[in-house]
Amino acid sequence: MCPDAARACLCGTKRRVDDTTPDRSSPWGNSTVLTVRPKVAELVFQLYGRPLHPELFKVCKTRTVRRGQYEARVDITTAGHVVSWRYQGLTLTEVATSAHFPMPEKRRLLSYRLKGERHDQVNCRGGANYQVSFQLEQVDPSVFWGYQQDLFGDVDAEGLMFRFDSSGRIALGALSYIHIESRARSLQVQAFHTFPDDHAIVKSQSRFEVP
């Protein structure tokens, strides 16, 4: 369950983040690993009003964005992705990861099991705003493999792609693809993660806005 301080964020409601303590710790860190996906049923989607320690994640591919008054780091991780967005001392960290990973509860603003479809929004101090929608689709094998093939062919200069090792049950491994669109007042991140063992696709779209 989510902590009491974050409970008001859930089920499509809005929450205001008013902590004015600047974040002086750096969330940037990186390591590279080849591995396989967790089961799709284990996934959670979370948002924190703070940086998270980089050693919590094994990073497969990364991109840093600096635009206007904000900066962000976008990582493909072994379980999903991490987006850490910073603006005038405020940090928002979005995480798609396994529920079995020991994630902190301090300043956790949103927490969902990754299933079905969800939309949410968080209003932050200083007028910054975060919006997210995500969905989990489980499809027929032929539809899944066609989608994965199309996804592999859609890589562009603004995107990140990583192909995972096979789990052993199926010859081809999972894919993660993240498209990043940065503008002076907003950052939009579209993430696509495939799960071959489950014939499942996780899609999310997040938007970070400054006033």
- pLDDT, tens digit (0-9, with 9 covering 90-100), for 41-92: 889 999 999 999 888 888 999 999 999 999 999 999 988 999 999 999 999 9
156 in any annotated domain: yes
pLDDT greater than 60 at residue 3: no
6 in any annotated domain: no
pLDDT for res 155: 66
9 in any annotated domain: no
Q: How many whole angstroms from its chain centre is CA 58?
A: 14
Closest residue by Cα to residue 75 from 135, 148, 160? 160
The predicted model gives 192-202 an average pLDDT of: 91
Which of 24-33, 35-44, 103-112, 151-160 is the least confident region? 24-33
Q: How many whole angstroms from its chain centre is CA 49?
A: 14
Enter the pTM of the model. Answer: 0.80
The predicted model gives 151-160 an average pLDDT of: 74
**Geometric angle at alpha carbon 140, from 175 and 158, rounded to 5°:** 30
The predicted model gives 114-123 an average pLDDT of: 92
Q: Which two structure tokens, joined as six digits, stand for 147?
A: 């989608």
Q: Which residue is associated with the tokens 């600096």? A: 66
Number of domains in the chain: 1
The predicted model gives 180-190 an average pLDDT of: 96
Does residue 3 or residue 163 have the better pLDDT? 163
Distance CA 166, CA 99 (A): 21
1 in any annotated domain: no
Which of 2-16, 116-130, 185-199 is the least confident region? 2-16
Among left, alpha and beta (phi > 0; psi -120 to 50; other), residue 26 is beta
- Dihedral of CA atoms 51, 87, 45, 203 in degrees, nearest 10, equals -140
pLDDT greater than 90 at residue 101: no
pLDDT for res 125: 84
**135 touches 113 (CB < 8 A):** no
181 in any annotated domain: yes
182 in any annotated domain: yes
26 in any annotated domain: yes
pLDDT for res 36: 57
pLDDT for res 171: 63
Domain containing 193: what range? 17-209
103 in any annotated domain: yes
Closest residue by Cα to residue 205 from 195, 194, 190? 190
